[in-house]
Amino acid sequence: MTQTVTLRRPDDWHLHLRDGAMLRAVLPETTRHFARAIIMPNLVPPVVTGADAAAYRDRITAAVPEGAAFEPLMTLYLTEATDADDVARAHADGLIHAVKLYPAGATTNSASGVRDFDIVRPVLERMAEIGLPLCVHGEVTDSDIDIFDREAVFIDRVLDPLRRDTPGLKVVMEHITTSNGVDYAKSAENIGATITTHHLVINRNHILVGGIKPHYYCLPVAKREEHRRALRAAATSGDATFFLGTDSAPHTDANKETACGCAGCFTATNTMQILAQVFDEDGALDRLEAFTSLNGPAFYGLPLNEDRITLTKGNAATWPDKIDTEDGPVTVFDPGRPIHWHVSD
Ligand code: NCD
Ligand code: ZN
């Protein structure tokens, strides 16, 4: 018997589209299935002002393939020079939907991130006043903190104090990778948490056992199996705190398969197929729509998508191993086992 599931068209609440040739190559991979996405601002140089965000939005819109309907939800990159009035204006104009906090040095293109949180306090206070969410890359960068502990330490040392100092600030804990992240998100008010596709599938063994696998390396790095299980339980629970943010982050193979490879997994192409299988395996297909299509808009105060997509279970699904770009190929995330779900519109 064929099994099918029909969902409101999903959104991606954390996506890297890059710019130029890379943008043109990867955008169709997202617009094929997704209606909207929160667009990460970590370009070089980063998207820091309302004017930068408007120009980037126009470049994205110009690259949307013919016949696709896609709304980029823009964000600003918080720096120590961010002007609260510019942020408030871009929000009032409906241009931006969040501000992104990268601790300086935490991940790809984060050199302009925040070092001294006291300096950005006025911006955070204004955001709390106007209801504009702060999306947080939750890792400390101190060299004495083990990379596998950086998320848990960030929650205690940075996130919890920051939220206490700025009452009412809406925060998205981005791409959580630990049970600590799950527990904190559940316990607190005004918090949403995104979970990626790949963190539901891989643990740190997948990166390191039997040879190093650069295409499984991303930040925050995948943790122990017990953490992956906690993420699966959270994503499939239907709890409105948790929603999909793929963190699909394209890098060319040349930049991944090298002595110092970039962080990022590219999952735009096969996220929905993989998620259908994950939710099916966990007996939670009836909660897939909450994770991909309902909880995110509710958190961001946006309407639900009216359009629908249908997923069907059948033979092993296929997709290209790589997406060709003018800069070189980008490898699509390999879930490491056959996926039996297909997306048919
Ligand atoms: C992201 C990128 O490549 O821009 N990489 C990643 O591993 N997730 C940056 C980020 O979101 O941390
Ligand atoms: Zn990201």
pLDDT of residue 318: 96
Name the DSSP class of 38.
E
pLDDT of residue 109: 79
Query: Given a cut of 70, is residue 1 above it in pLDDT?
Result: no
User: Which of the ligands is closest to the CA of residue 14?
Assistant: 2
Instruction: Work out the average pLDDT over 37-50.
Output: 97
Q: What tens digit of pLDDT does each residue of 44-87 get? A: 999 999 999 999 999 999 999 999 999 999 999 999 999 999 99
pLDDT of residue 18: 98
Tokens at 316, concatenated: 């092993």
Instruction: Work out the average pLDDT over 185-208.
Output: 98
Which residues, chain by chain, have CB under 5 Å from ion ligand 2? 247
Radius of gyration of the chain (CA): 19
Instruction: Work out the average pLDDT over 327-342.
Output: 98
CA distances from 236 to 179, 197, 232 (A): 14, 12, 6
Ligand 1, residues 23, 107, 177, 217: which to mutate, most atoms within 8 A of Cβ? 107
Query: Given a cut of 90, is residue 280 above it in pLDDT?
Result: yes
Q: What tens digit of pLDDT does each residue of 145-178 get? A: 999 999 999 999 999 999 999 999 999 999 999 9
pTM: 0.97
Name the DSSP class of 341.
E
Ligand 1 atom with the smallest distance to the CA of 219 is: 7
Q: What is the rounded CA–CA span in Å between residue 345 and residue 167? A: 43
Query: Ligand 2 centroid to 84 CA: how many Å?
Result: 23
Lowest mean pLDDT among 55-64, 101-110, 202-211, 323-332: 101-110
Query: In the chain, what are the domain boundaries?
Result: 4-343
pLDDT of residue 182: 98
Exposure letters 169-187 (e unless 16+ CB within 10 A, then b): bbbbbbbbbbbbbbebbee
Can you tell me whether residue 291 is helix, strand or coil? helix
Ligand 1, residues 38, 102, 108, 248: which to mutate, most atoms within 8 A of Cβ? 108
Q: What is the rounded CA–CA span in Å between residue 195 and residue 244? A: 5
8 A C-beta contact, residue 12 and residue 49: no
Q: Does domain 4-343 have CATH number 3.40.50.1950?
A: no
**DSSP string over 211-241:** S--GGG--SSPP--HHHHHHHHHHHTT--TT
pLDDT of residue 49: 98
**Binding pocket residue ranges, ligand 1, CB within 6 Å:** 16, 42, 107-108, 137, 218-219, 247, 249, 263-264
8 A C-beta contact, residue 315 and residue 245: no
Q: What is the rounded CA–CA span in Å between residue 324 and residue 197? A: 22
Q: What tens digit of pLDDT does each residue of 18-27 get? A: 999 999 999 9
Active site residue 247: yes
Catalytic residue among 12, 86, 239, 247: 247
